[in-house]
Structure 1
């Protein structure tokens, strides 16, 4: 096949332009290394096959949470003492973060990746690991519920959205629509905040998977993938949370739990629950 000099010249120019342009395209957030304000190390690791979504903790046990299974472990010996599994009467398929309050384990639950998105709060008695209550939020315009924390007079909850296409939703939002919402005790929305771009870039293409308030009263959140914990403050004005510290941690994102000065998290790849000294400011 004959190719003219003019055509070859055009191809060369196009190739050169493509190479030059590709060198200017920034790496994706996943490819970028970032500098941490500080880094914490693991002090203990427990093997737990259920450590896929999150971990919750009380003074005697920790609870490894998978999509449809929760296992209760002795926090000193690592011995598994009880297991709860979903069944036809309680067909839970996507449990997320959990938190223990007054002998009850509260877990965020959603129908992810189905559409339309529906979520609920599921409750277990930690002594017997019996499922004792369910509060359905139904279809949630905010997204999929990933973590909750009961507070005096209400709840905090995060609703995730994803840039990665997960279903056939024609009006799917991106990870930038992830938001923290405050509800009163009757589950009426009273406040809402979005995450700053610097944190959203680390969530991309997933979302906020874990979070809560530590003993210092500050808010900390995690994404879906990275061993990072983000300390956030509520803004003095407006709706965007303020990033104050990024902490490197020996976890793989997902749901976390605080116990005094300890951070509990999961290492999904190793199927382990990881404990770290968090170093809270006094």
Structure 2
């Protein structure tokens, strides 16, 4: 039987409805605090295509959870209805369905959680803010969102009874449901005997509430409580109860906070014990949608999404530990005869860079928009978009003595707007990027002198402030060639060689003049110039032999 609860703050009316019986086992982590600490802050990325039309005006995505690792559910709000998106993640990630949950005024489906095969979500009237429904759905049902198996109605004071974030887990023989009200100021907990829940005859009763402003924070790891968009509940094999909240802090950082909960006593207690900052792709935002999951393998996976579901949407996954073998995988290709030296991209276009010409393509259709050659140009090496211009590194390689310049191209028309002449240079300029207020430029040496290749920090007058050479282990991989491409990435730089399908991750040393080699990754690019892709949050580069521009994302 389904139990429908009508809740006016803390009193209940119970109405029975039919429900099918299901029984499955849940996974518990041995030590949840350690698993949380081990979460990698660097994401794997999936570009998900969507060909389903729907009206999301007046709202945005609110929560995300994984189910059986390769399926993602995302809750959303709009002016007219609340909805749930289902995605399949893999080599060809796509949206497979968008289901209506409830219609206006119950237009706002907030942060949610999947426990076992059950999805618990709060749906509220986000305008009057005096009515909300907590719905529990069975994802193994034929049409899971046609009818919830449990419903809790919350009616009452403005904002007090809203349900912006919902968590669910099993703990000490009970199924616990957490409901956070507007801005997560109050946390309400409901419980149901676990056996009754699975048998379909459960009765949820109010257990306790936590007023966030009330508890002392002297024992917290830090005193900050954020406006959490999602709050997820977990228990581990040590019989401890935890809550993880995701949000964006005042500094613009993407944050997941870990709390320990004590609900057994007459006075419920909450203690913050850890906080982690995550590096998301450009569009992904914890203020929109992020959620923690336990994978089938028993490890943690943190998923995150942007504000809106687009035709192509980036999903980030943060795993418990860094994968042993990580790669950058192709997600899209564009054939181009100019894919000889480098590539760059905007959200609408990709650019193929040749020695002395550039071609511009519509990234959706692959149509050639424009192509332009540049007189008195010897060797364009890379492209970096900044403040509406494409900064192309240029050198006279293989001529001697070395001479370098920067060609500023208008990405709209491909017209040459300015040439910054660096004159005679120590090495050939192969790429430039701007990061944290400074320009960084790579000057390459070749042959027996390629160990002299260096990364330079420069000011806005293009004067070298500091320089670093590369570790011998990286230079040995270059043969007689050198570092050809690079981007600012995470805490350092991703760089490429001339031919091999490898990316090298290096960071600046605290002391000394040799870069730190951190890790290398497989990649679809055959060396040469690469750039950050603002559309996917990944990289754009080329395969010179196949004459293709390639977009790639980071995958474990």
- Which bracket does the TM-score occupy, shorter chain normalised? 0.7 to 0.9
Alignment of 1:239-250 (within 5 A): 239-250=513-524
1:269 is aligned to 2:551: no
Q: Name the structure where strand makes up a greater proportion of residues.
A: 2
Distance 2:522 2:387 in 1: 31
In the TM superposition, structure 1's runs of 4+ consecutive aligned residues that sit over 4 Å from their partners are: none
1:238 is aligned to 2:509: no
Give 1:103's aligned residue: 388
Alignment of 1:55-134 (within 5 A): 55-87=343-375, 91-134=376-419
Q: TM-score, normalised by structure 2?
A: 0.40
TM-aligned CA distance change 1:157 to 1:221, over 3 Å: same
SS at match of 1:41: strand
SS at match of 1:203: coil
- Encode CA deviations 1:85-130: one digit per residue, 9 max, x unaligned: 022xxx1020001111122100000111111110000001111111
Return 146-155 or 51-60, whichever deviates more.
146-155
Give 1:207's aligned residue: 482
Give 1:29's aligned residue: none
SS at match of 1:175: helix
Q: CA deviation at 1:150?
A: 2.7
Q: TM-score, normalised by structure 1?
A: 0.78
Distance 1:256 1:117 in 2: 22
SS at match of 2:443: strand
Tell me, yes or no, if the aligned pair for 1:72 and 1:83 is still in contact at 8 Å. yes
Q: CA deviation at 1:41?
A: 2.0
Q: CA deviation at 1:279?
A: 4.6
Q: Which has the higher contact order (CA 8 A, sep 6+)?
A: 1
Q: How many residues align?
A: 231
Q: CA deviation at 1:237?
A: 1.4
SS at match of 2:477: helix
Distance 2:349 2:395 in 1: 25
Q: Name the structure where helix makes up a greater proportion of residues.
A: 1
Tell me, yes or no, if the aligned pair for 1:154 and 1:186 is still in contact at 8 Å. no
In structure 2, stretches of 5+ residues that fail to align are: 1-323
Distance 1:114 1:58 in 2: 32
1:180 is aligned to 2:455: yes
